[in-house]
Structure 1
Amino acid sequence: MPPTQALFDSIRHESVVDLVVDQVEEMILQGILREGARLPSERDLAERFDVSRPKVREALKRLEGDGLIRVQHGEGTFVAELTGQAMSPALIALYARHGLAFYDYLEYRREQEGFAARLAATRATATDHDEIRRLLGVMEEAQANGDAEQSEQADVAFHGAVVNASHNAMLMHMMTSIYDLTRRGVFYNRRFLRTIDGTGERLLDQHRQIAEGVLAGNPDAAEAAARSHLDFVEQSFRLGHDRERRERAARKRQMAAGLRKP
């Protein structure tokens, strides 16, 4: 059976169109079908749902009318962009110019990721556990190889996996948008964190602690680890920004002293 076929359950009911629509909507809500995901062809869907093609066509038209999917003729049917950007380009630029807003971003992540980790510890499935272990392994491999790019990618994916394991649809969709900003380096660059950390080993250990709390089914430990990680990120950046400020002041004093020399 093709991997995508297992996503869809056969339908045997008189309200066929409603049930097809409901099943696709449910998969979008649960984050199984994400923005930009390509749906199987109309014929494949009919086979997998075990319904007629006209019924599938009617269901797809309804989903398209509701703005949940988009049909690109000659290319296929895709899940529509639903969450969009967390912020407009103008607001992103404004945040970038005013550093204090960065700490609001960290505060938001601390609350949401702490909550997500607590939920994940009680709701994560065996599949969720496998994904968290896999991504932690990727992070460990990247750390061992000194691969900063792979480390950054795995870091964001790891946090996303914990959020997915919360099985809270609102959290998953909102944090997907936030993590997109993180991937793009809008708020900070993880490589800067490594200069504070020294080796990146402390960051890796913090992710291990989050994983251990979730995998052990310990909500208090999982939440505490997630919050502690974001506390470390905030403290590190405050120290880094203070260091940069002192260095700028030192250079200016040096320049000023040079101007005073005869």
Structure 2
Amino acid sequence: MVSVNNLFEPIDHDTVVDSVTDQIEGLILAGVLKEGTKLPSEREISDRMGVSRPKVREALKRLEESNLINIRHGEGSFIAPLISAAMSPALINLISRNQTAFYDYLEYRRVQEGFAARLAAERATKLDLDRIEELLVNLREAQAAGDDSASKKSDIAFHSSIVDASHNAMLVHMMSSIYELTKKGVFYNREFLRAIDGTGEQLLEQHEEIGRAIMNRNSAKAEDAAHRHIDFVETSFRLGQDQQRRELISSKLFAIQKIEE
């Protein structure tokens, strides 16, 4: 659940329910509240905004009727699925099994992440930059510890933090959907990529380069570094898959030779 601190502003308008609704809608639109995020309790929202709990409850009900939040009795209120519902489980499964679609996914990420890195270098706030630096530290520590799970988690969080720092609402929501699928291993297995890399050092260096360019406010270099990172991922996977095919053919040839002996 997100913290209520600094999230909402006090309400001083005549139309209280409209104002509460507008604030939450604005946070959703800006990508501050992403799908699946648990909202603070009615009491916390009420205290922060300086309005009555019945008014907050009415606003939440309105948001639920607009399909922007899901209210689960006994659990709380959650931001509803916003983008990922556009792809059905059947389509996601089909894409994950299709090699051409996989490279389409990388092509899409290359363009969007380059754009996000450029915007982040131009627009990132101090808090955004602090978050990016914190995630680079996490990536270094995970790499040093050889922790694949932590490395994968920090990798996705790092890219997501750059998109957030772009402050482009459409980009934030679209890429949030992509990263959710990536977290679930729909498109590729990061452990496979690290194996191709050898140690994961090249991936770490690429993330460092992207982060440094953003923190130095070098938008062109940030965009180029993001492009080269995705190019590396694509090239590595192609080489890895080619090697797997060669090994499969070799194993079949060896099996035939054994039969003929």
Per-residue CA deviations over 1:138-184 (Å, capped at 9, x if unaligned) read 00001111111111111011000111111111111111111111111
- After superposition, the Cα gap between the structure-2 partners of 1:223 and 1:86, relative to the gap in structure 1 and judged at 3 Å, is farther
Question: What is the distance in 2 between the residues matched to 1:74 and 1:190?
Answer: 37
Question: What is the distance in 1 between the residues matched to 2:23 and 2:31?
Answer: 12
- Cα deviation for residue 6 of structure 1 reads 1.9
- Cα deviation for residue 103 of structure 1 reads 0.7
- After superposition, the Cα gap between the structure-2 partners of 1:71 and 1:3, relative to the gap in structure 1 and judged at 3 Å, is closer
* 1:256 pairs with 2:256: yes
**Aligned partners of 1:86 and 1:178 also within 8 Å:** no
Runs of 4+ in 1 over 6 A off after TM superposition: none
3-state SS of the aligned residue for 1:82?
Answer: coil
Question: What is the distance in 1 between the residues matched to 2:159 and 2:251?
Answer: 39
Q: Percent identity?
A: 58
Q: Which amino acid aligns with 2:10?
A: S
Within a 5 Å distance, the mapping from 1:15-94 to structure 2 comes to 15-85=15-85, 87-94=87-94
- After superposition, the Cα gap between the structure-2 partners of 1:40 and 1:252, relative to the gap in structure 1 and judged at 3 Å, is closer
Within a 5 Å distance, the mapping from 1:54-203 to structure 2 comes to 54-85=54-85, 87-203=87-203
Question: What is the distance in 1 between the residues matched to 2:181 and 2:3?
Answer: 30
Per-residue CA deviations over 1:49-96 (Å, capped at 9, x if unaligned) read 112333323322221211112222233222222223463222222223
- Equivalent residue number for residue 218 of structure 2: 218
- After superposition, the Cα gap between the structure-2 partners of 1:59 and 1:96, relative to the gap in structure 1 and judged at 3 Å, is closer
Q: Which amino acid aligns with 2:166?
A: S
- Cα deviation for residue 243 of structure 1 reads 0.7
- Cα deviation for residue 256 of structure 1 reads 2.1
**Aligned partners of 2:128 and 2:165 also within 8 Å:** yes
3-state SS of the aligned residue for 1:149?
Answer: helix
**Aligned partners of 1:31 and 1:173 also within 8 Å:** yes
Q: Which amino acid aligns with 1:75?
A: E
Gaps of 5+ in 1: none
Per-residue CA deviations over 1:35-54 (Å, capped at 9, x if unaligned) read 23232333332221112333
**Aligned partners of 1:193 and 1:236 also within 8 Å:** yes
3-state SS of the aligned residue for 2:84?
Answer: coil
Q: How large is the Cα RMSD of the aligned pairs?
A: 1.7
3-state SS of the aligned residue for 1:71?
Answer: strand
Question: What is the distance in 1 between the residues matched to 2:41 and 2:254?
Answer: 69
- Equivalent residue number for residue 244 of structure 1: 244
Q: Which amino acid aligns with 2:12?
A: R
Question: What is the distance in 2 between the residues matched to 1:36 and 1:44?
Answer: 19
- Cα deviation for residue 3 of structure 1 reads 4.8
Gaps of 5+ in 2: none
